[in-house]
Structure 1
């Protein structure tokens, strides 16, 4: 007998369910352990009311408001309880909801709220909770964040960079940063040699954000940074990833790659030629150098997703950076599972795939996607 399984049968839990009933109970337990003044019954009643219809960030905000209802009226008392709840969080999103309490209900107490966010970010990032303060008082808040960039705790230093990103995903835009994405430049310079990879990744992402609006500014800044330092060099490479994918000559030069690519594509293919949602494709390529000198090649691929109505949406993925001697060959391959995410839904049809070398499209292939359920096997 042949059995079939739909993609939903083995689908990962929804992101929003991270803050489901069990998480609410954990937060309530933390509140009761932190203070006898915490009202468990009120918290659970407010937090759980209609929560099944809410997205993950809506749940974060609902929990913040439920904390307000369950805690003492005086903010200084309430925020002390919330700080004490932080170490009892069992997931970053739980602590993020604690920080959101500060964002939604501590705007009138700037100094105390800054202390609270620096405490709570150690248990779950306060990158979203800092945004309302940045929107209301950008200069004052950035001044505090500059101090955080020198903190002994890597989580606090990361908050200085991540919380001030101009294009922070899922976060509201900050008018001052939209008008001038470079306002946090001093923070980024302070962190360019940070010993923590967690912090360096945030700095790189922050600079990549700025580069989408002000590429020349980012290029000029990174030209002055010491790329002999391994950590700083890593930041530069990752900060320039969008500009490198676009083939920007100065960005390529900063990471040691050549402008253009003296290569011949011997093979570029995707297999299988037809896949079902949830299955995996293999993209492989073989290149040979036609240059007379060694060259560094940044090899990416662009996937053109089919969309409703015959439209396409493209996304570039990293394949590999290689150093190739004259006449040398290199074979590259990567696997990618074609599955839905909360941020990307697939549609049936032809999906194009481009091979990109140092920002230039060198070859093209395609595969077809069907939404038919995958066959598990014979029984």
Structure 2
């Protein structure tokens, strides 16, 4: 992904801006290309944003140039990230309320070319109330990409983005945005709302469940999907209020398993397992079935990670067998370590069984799976 901002992209950025409003400092864009090679995408963005911020004498000059460049259809893609970041830098350096308000509007104009969700974070940090006054009006914008920016840009734990402490300290601050967009006609916008609600659940579970319950009273099918997706972390954490809201109440069941033919696995590898559930009660049971992998950490201890398996409705006396597989491979988001792992089932928040297996850090798995 680092190469999403490479020499070719910098050349396009230079061409677009030089054609829109040439300034002497733009030549430093091309001069910065050799410095990009060892840098990550985020660091490349910061470097180019710094060059742009230094090229224009004021926010007013930069914003005028960027708006003019929007006339060029080639002014799009990852080159927009340093553009939006430099605009925010210059607006904050200007220090005036007019520059602050204008750069928010500029980000809304830029976001159709590439999301401005990362650049907006420093504005939220600087003055959350003032920023939300503008962002809150975007919920009725005709462009769904701007409406999505209202939700995505204000997420408490937006991936790749800087943290805005006020968003976690004031978990109700963005609820009016979510209320307005929960039934948006765009699936991309609704998914952002669900992810935003899920973010809030990490530090304010009570408010999350209260919000979902309020929505559920008049929910369309689309909003019901937003609620389920927005409560996913609380369901995995076995939050009783979230489980009850989605109908996953305590049930009389028996659980057989998990079982697997594999007791030893080499990395990378794939572990298959199965289980059988039976409703032994006299009423129908709605079940959220997850599985828990207890990963070995670097210090030899284990840490659980919950994964979704299935949602079942079992009639009294009904049995259901489930089969699944879990991949073990090194990833940037998870480092695997050798040792004794285990796997459990989690049904409506209650854990069952305990399947132990050994993970080895070999290059390839034994074809037998043993």
Highest RCO, 1 vs 2 (Cα 8 Å, sep ≥ 6): 1
Indicate the residue corresponding to 1:96 in structure 2.
Answer: 81
Distance 1:357 1:105, change over 3 A: same
Instruction: Tell whether the 8 Å contact from 1:302 to 1:315 is kept in structure 2 after alignment.
Output: yes
For residues 280-359 of structure 1, the aligned pairs below 5 Å read 280-359=270-349
Quote how far apart the aligned CAs of 1:52 are.
3.5
| Pair 1:362-2:346 in alignment | no
Q: 1:366 to 1:102 in 2, by over 3 A?
A: farther
The alignment partner of 1:100 has SS state of: helix
Q: What is the CA RMSD across the aligned residues, in angstroms?
A: 2.6
Please state how far the C-alpha of 1:337 moved relative to its aligned partner. Answer: 2.5
Equivalent residue for 2:63, pick from 79, 82, 91: 79
In structure 2, how many angstroms separate the alpha carbons of the residues matched to 1:227 and 1:268?
Answer: 39
SS at match of 2:140: coil
Measured in 1, the distance between the counterparts of 2:322 and 2:169 equals: 42
Cα separation, partners in 2 of 1:42 and 1:55, compared to 1, 3 Å: same
Counterpart Cα distance in 2 of 1:321 and 1:22: 48
Matched, 1:224 2:214: yes
Separation in 1, partners of 2:331, 2:65: 36
Aligned to 1:146: 136
Q: Secondary structure, in 3 states, of the residue corresponding to 2:282?
A: coil
List gaps (5 residues or longer) in structure 2.
Answer: none
Q: Pick closer, same or farther for the CA change 1:229–1:72 going to 2, 3 Å.
A: same
| TM-score of the aligned structures, taking structure 1 as reference length | 0.85
Structure 1 unaligned segments of length 5 or more: list them.
1-14
1:18 aligns with 2:26: no
Equivalent runs, 1:176-195 vs 2, <5 Å: 176-195=166-185
User: SS of 1:327's equivalent?
Assistant: coil
Which residue of structure 1 lines up, in the alignment, with residue 248 of structure 2?
A: 257
Tell me which residue corresponds to 1:267: 257
1:128 aligns with: 118
Residues 24/371 of structure 1: CA separation in 2 closer, same or farther (3 Å cut): farther
Q: 1:37 to 1:247 in 2, by over 3 A?
A: same
Shift of the 74–212 alpha-carbon distance from structure 1 to 2, 3 Å rule, reads closer
1:196 and 2:196 equivalent? no
Cα 1:310–1:195 shift into 2, 3 Å: same
Contact 1:244 1:251 (8 Å CA) reproduced: yes
Determine if contact 1:44/1:66 at 8 Å carries over to the other structure: no
Aligned residue in 2 for 1:64 = 49
SS in 2 for 1:189: helix
Of stretches 282-291 and 123-132 in structure 1, the one that deviates more from structure 2 is 282-291
What's the CA shift string for 1:141-196, capped at 9, x where partnerless?
A: 00111001111111111111111122223322223223212111111111121111
Q: Is the 8 A contact 1:274 1:369 kept in 2?
A: yes
Q: Deviations over 1:200-220 (max 9, x none)?
A: 111112112222222222222
1:149 aligns to what SS in structure 2? helix
Tell me which residue corresponds to 1:27.
13
Distance 1:251 1:270 in 2: 31
2-side partners of 1:125 and 1:255: how far apart? 33
Distance of 2:156 and 2:313 partners within structure 1 = 34
What SS does the corresponding residue of 1:296 show, helix, strand or coil? strand
TM-superposed CA distance for 1:234, in Å, is: 1.0
Change (3 A) 1:375 1:297: closer
Name the counterpart of 1:43: 29
Q: Pick one of 54, 57, 71 that aligns with 2:39.
A: 54
Are the structure 2 counterparts of residues 329 and 98 from structure 1 closer, same or farther at C-alpha, using a change threshold of 3 Å?
A: farther
Give the Cα separation in 2 of the matches to 1:356 and 1:179.
31
Q: Distance in 2 between matches of 1:281 and 1:22?
A: 43
